[in-house]
Amino acid sequence: MIKKYDYLIIGQGIAGSSFAWTSYFNKKSFIILDSQEKNSASNAALGIYNPITGRRNSLTWNVEKLFNSLEEFYLNVEKTIKKNILFKKKIYRPFKDNRDYNDWNLRLENDKFKKYLSKIDSSGILTCKSGYLDVSKYLSETRKYFKSIDRYKNYKLSNNQVIIKNNRVIIKEFDAKNVIMCLGINQLNINYLNKIPLRAVSGNSIIAETNFNSNHIINKKISVINTSRKNIHAGSTYHNGFENNGVDKLLNKLDEIIKKEYKVKKINFGIRSASVDRKPLVGKHPTIDNLYIINGLGSKGVSQSPYCSKELFNYIELNKNLDKEINIERFIT
């Protein structure tokens, strides 16, 4: 007998995991289908959530909405899996030059920035309301937990397993009211919702052993996190396309920052999916009544996925309007 579900979630990266937890906390039935792709975006993710980002050190898009519930979401996951996955840390940014120093002093006088700035001196600034998610642990423990309650299946979706009947999508072997595609860049390989403007962005990170130690995340073009007393996670690089070519650049930047010997233990590579306007892609297929998507989170999946999942869930369950800035209708109408 085929089980019935409220949600069939395809892909268990950061987006798929987030929607699964949102469904779980709201007592909806679901199953995750996931192929555990080698070069998924999560493989190279540092998992940093940060209200001030980019080359211009701007407030991240939608910062108030994203950060109001971000920590609460992951802390609820922690309580369920009984593992620590979220680590609150301030971010130290050394000044590049006098202009950089002056720019940060101007931000200190700006009410929009004040709550995110902690301390400034002649060499750098410390920003707050930030930290990192142990992405690898988050995904593996999520997988383990949902496997234990029969809500996860290793399954590689292909086009011949997708059937359209009466304007509804059906995935062979499964009976679900709604299908949520969270495939990242692999969405381009599925015939439905593959016309949205996704672009591939590759990135590298490394895990290394060293006696460098900081209580804060260090940000100077790349970011360095002490994940333990002897280990650091550094990255990540950002290259348009599918190429794995960021390791040398990453190692050169790491040399500049820590100025200590280190032993590389692991090199990570992943391919993120990003939208052309760098905002998430969330919403419903224009003609298929039960097909939805969360995608295009780029390098901000940790901070954006809880908000996007909540928005999509409320859209489906409560008939609430989606945030216009993330709605895929901006590209497909």
CB 250 within 8 A of CB 242: no
CB 232 within 8 A of CB 251: no
Domain 199-275 is found in CATH 1.20.58: no
pLDDT of residue 206: 95
- The model's pTM is 0.95
- Provide the angle, in degrees to the nearest 10, between the axes of the packed helices 14-25 and 135-148: 50
* Same fold yes or no, 4-49+135-197+277-332 and 199-275: no
Handedness of CA 6, 11, 12, 18 (dihedral sign): negative
- Which CATH superfamily hosts domain 4-49+135-197+277-332? FAD/NAD(P)-binding domain (3.50.50.60)
DSSP state letter for 329: H
Q: Could you write out the three-class secondary structure of 87-100?
A: EECCEEEECCCHHH
pLDDT of residue 37: 75
Mean pLDDT in order along the chain per 10 residues (333 residues)? 90 96 98 84 87 91 91 97 97 94 94 94 95 96 98 94 92 94 94 91 94 95 94 88 87 93 94 92 96 95 97 98 96 77
Compute the distance between CA of residue 71 and CA of residue 333 in angstroms, rounded to an integer.
Answer: 34
pLDDT of residue 39: 63
pLDDT of residue 29: 98
Tokens of 324: 């216009």
DSSP codes joined into one string, 291-310 = EEEEE-BTT-HHHHHHHHHH
Can you list the positions of beta strands (E) in 166-261? Answer: 168-171, 175-181, 198-210, 217-220, 222-226, 231-235, 239-240
What are the structural domain ranges in the chain?
4-49+135-197+277-332, 52-132, 199-275
Compute the distance between CA of residue 122 and CA of residue 21 in angstroms, rounded to an integer.
Answer: 44
